[in-house]
Structure 1
Amino acid sequence: MLVAGSCFFNPVVTDHEAERLRMAGAPVHRTPEGTYRASAGWLLELCGYAPGREITPGVRCSSRRTLTLTAGPGATAKEFQYALTSMVANVRARTGVTLTPEPVCP
């Protein structure tokens, strides 16, 4: 099984979003630049993703961290990309917050 590592940045959120997410229990921190970032892992878990959950054939959340994806038998680059895209869409639909995948270096 291949581990892709952390796949999403903690998203920058507005002051209003930060307050709304905090009230829901989300970890939100202020950066040295004065912006707020919410926990990508918390947002994913709010949307039903969990350690070990299969996202697409062969692609699952790591058994240790929701925002780390692993590629097992049957995984393809297309399936991996679809997993990322569907996770972003589900978080946006549920919370209004857009996750940004971390860059992939070949």
Structure 2
Amino acid sequence: MSLVGDRAAIAAVLSTIDGVTGYASRPSVLAAGDAWPLLGPLDRASGYSFTATWRVFVIIPSDEVKASEWLDAHVDELVEALLPVGFVDQILPVAVTTEAGDLLAAQITMRSE
């Protein structure tokens, strides 16, 4: 299990989506379309393997109507792009706190082995 490789793979597949830029870790300045994974729990699977749970954040437009439209247009693309690296369990709009104030993001909870 290479968590660094998993982060890079998640960033790479996110970057295949038009208007999304994937990063292996959170960029210091955030803009709409920026996306990065954050490792969650590592659960024991069979033998010595683990299942990693990831929270993937994608910054979406701050206006609620535009955020809803963005999610409507990109949910299927996000799920399909992430399939090679994990199984998407949930997509939830959340606030991401920054020095400049809160931004809206799609928080994707996904699992990988």
Question: Could you tell me the TM-score, scaled by structure 2's length?
Answer: 0.35
Greater percentage in strand: 2
Greater percentage in helix: 1
